[in-house]
Structure 1
């Protein structure tokens, strides 16, 4: 595996070509503070133990692990070592990426690329660009359909934001999808239950969270305020946000900007305007962006 480090004196990012993931993102020089949960070292290079991984060519799970598209039943592959029931988070996070030619800003910009041919499903190539500026990290993820057929694609980022016991989180949403016993969304609700409503800002509850949020037109705008006076602002044009944390106190919170709502491949029979997937013709592309800005308050 190849590891790359970007740093500018205030921020440091360690990027791993296996999975195209981040292994470390810290703020500060003398006493670095983890912006994202550092990679969990367990003797493997599993992307799920990283700080952030990309989701493509679709996000999360699809009910029954299959969907109908243009008169055909598309059955998704399963990697038993990851999930025995679902094509979880796609395959971009499980694929070897390759570093592209260095730019003149080689210490603050990195570009990775990969290609994947999923038999009977789709054929695509993707590119990630990591750009470190004075107070922020911007990640751009681009996907191109290189198959001969049109296909519905989706992408997302899966970061594990480091949290302290009294960390405050604030973001607004227009509605929510709760989850069923299969970790798949229930019906959309405009009313957000108080325990899952972060519109006024609050500490992170101890309950299990695995919900999808529909956001306003300006997309993701999240503020994390840590008790050590470090603030993290997460922005993205994406209007779909998946939020995850395990039960009890957790030192991380997953805030996942996505181009699509979870399980939207199951609603492809609806009018295109009501579906969040990106229907790409051959050689057409889509992209998403996320920026993580760090400052003190």
Structure 2
């Protein structure tokens, strides 16, 4: 088996998307020969969480610890440099194919009950390629006897065009941003974006040298309840990711890596991650704002969806 797992190639018109089974990850998405996301190779171990499906939580659980119904749980610290549990439990699972077609694929994996997360979840995701772009839907079903805490989101790195990220124009119509500690990115408080230097992109403007790895909320939505983030290259090409009301939060990351420009992937794309819940939502009781944490009832399901399309 290739390092990325089994690849599923979807085609529709001039568009081609490749989904890898490990982590149900978006490995590549091209339209008219242009990359819309930062790709990686079939026999390449996925770089970090690039394109991965995140569940049963996106982002971080601070210190890897949380409490549900009076019982404390401790997760593996998968972000050891910051001492957090990062991006859930399915990112490195090998998903099985449930449906395979020319323009869509449905993959599934099971989170088995374990000491750190004692609930069994069946996670299914469908990628569908069409004239309106590439849509991913994630549906989780709780196969346990107790309600399970849950959150989800994707992790694509968008590519606007051939110019460096610093020259791209970002439109992020969010009114508030989550302030975090500079060293560990642990949540502090939600603030208005106009009170945080460099983070107000409600009117489209050039990214420049700004470094972002923050969650935004109160995103402006259209009449159908959809929110969208757009990034545009100086050449005029661009890409948009939009999502429905299932995701009240969105994480944005300028892909700043510890090794700087010498490290492959540094500022190569803009990660835009719609999320059903905020960072550290499993510790919802700590915060005075709505984290969006959900609980799936026994036998119940939860679903979220987002779409990437060229501009």
Q: What band does the TM-score fall into relative to the shorter chain?
A: 0.7 to 0.9
> Tell me, which stretches of 5 or more residues in structure 2 are unaligned?
261-265
Partner of 2:267: 250
Distance in 2 between the 1:243 and 1:89 partners?
Answer: 14
State the TM-score, normalized to the length of structure 2: 0.84
Cα pair distance change 1:215/1:10, threshold 3 Å:
farther
Partner of 1:139: 136
Distance in 1 between the 2:64 and 2:231 partners?
Answer: 34
Distance in 1 between the 2:31 and 2:236 partners?
Answer: 12
- How far residue 208 of structure 1 moved from its aligned partner, in angstroms, is 2.3
Distance in 2 between the 1:269 and 1:283 partners?
Answer: 28
- 1:183 equivalent to 2:185? Answer yes
Of the three residues 251, 270, 278, the one matched with 1:261 is 278
Number of aligned residue pairs: 284
SS of the aligned residue for 2:213 comes to strand
Contact 1:219/1:239 (<8 A) preserved: no
Aligned 1:92-103 pairs, distance under 5 A:
92-102=90-100
Distance in 2 between the 1:209 and 1:20 partners?
Answer: 26
Of the three residues 2, 6, 11, the one matched with 1:7 is 11
Contact 2:228/2:243 (<8 A) preserved: yes
> Tell me, which stretches of 5 or more residues in structure 1 are unaligned?
none
- 1:154 equivalent to 2:157? Answer no
Distance in 2 between the 1:109 and 1:156 partners?
Answer: 19
- How far residue 274 of structure 1 moved from its aligned partner, in angstroms, is 3.6
Partner of 1:88: 86
Partner of 2:174: 173
Task: Please tell me the root mean square deviation across aligned C-alpha atoms, in Å.
Answer: 2.2
Q: What is the CA deviation profile of residues 187-225 of structure 1, one whole-angstrom value per residue up to 9, with x for unaligned ones? A: 111243241111111122323211110124635311222
Partner of 2:263: none
SS of the aligned residue for 1:87 comes to strand
Cα pair distance change 1:264/1:203, threshold 3 Å:
same
